[in-house]
Amino acid sequence: MQRLIGALTLLLLLGLVATRILLMRRTGLKAVYFANIDRTDVLIPPFALLYVYIVIAAPLRLPPVSEQELFHSEVLSWVGVFLCVLGLVLFLLSLVSFGTSFRVGIDTHRPGALITTGVFALSRNPIYVAFWIVLLGQFLIFPNWILLAYLPGAAWLFHRQVLREEEFLRKHYGPAYAQYCNRVRRYL
């Protein structure tokens, strides 16, 4: 059951992103600016697809990439489910707060409004926090060395992107963004 919930969480996250992108496209807003700043970001999708396969393979009984489990704990698996649901809820609240300012990547031409309300009043980067919470939850559900390696890798990639976004936001929003940074922490 936990593995199914872990896989569904990932599918729901991807579905929410895709839905938001399509809804924004209908209103004439482009929401995807992936790899505009750094072309090496195109190396990320193969690793993301491997991650998706690892999480989806178990409940669908597809051939696993690794059968080695680092531990087996029913309790930790349910903690993982809780973290997945928590991350999914935080992600959904982030999308609602973001409104039409949501982007995948940095939109230097039409960035939208600076969002400082909703969950953005608690964290400047609730979407990245949500993703990392889900990744941690999925590791507890699928405790293999590959997903363990994804945890620091994802943290590094998220932080790298946050620093890029902060640089842009400082330049674009100036003092308003600086005041926001003084009030609200980067992550938690």
- Helical pair 44-60 and 2-26, crossing angle rounded to 10 deg: 130
- The beta-strand segments (E) located in the chain are 32-33, 104-105
DSSP state, 174? Answer: T
Tell me the residue length of the chain. 188
Distance CA 126, CA 112 (A): 17
Q: Which of 4-8, 14-18, 32-36 is predicted with the least confidence, judged by mean pLDDT?
A: 32-36
Q: What is the pLDDT of residues 31-84, one digit of tens each?
A: 777 766 666 777 788 999 999 999 999 899 999 998 899 999 999 999 999 999
Task: Enter the tokens of residue 9.
Answer: 């969480």
Task: Please give the pLDDT value at position 20.
Answer: 87
Domains along the chain? 2-183 (1.20.120.1630)
Q: What is the pLDDT of residues 92-115, one digit of tens each?
A: 999 999 887 888 877 777 778 899
* Spacing of C-alpha 168 from chain mean position: 19
Q: Which of 4-8, 17-21, 143-147 is predicted with the least confidence, judged by mean pLDDT?
A: 17-21
pLDDT at 159 over 70: yes
Task: Please give the pLDDT value at position 117.
Answer: 95
A 10 A CB-CB count for 93 gives 17
Residue where the block lists tokens 């669908």: 60
pLDDT at 18 over 80: yes
* Spacing of C-alpha 60 from chain mean position: 23
Dihedral, CA atoms, 164, 168, 171, 176, nearest 10 degrees? -100
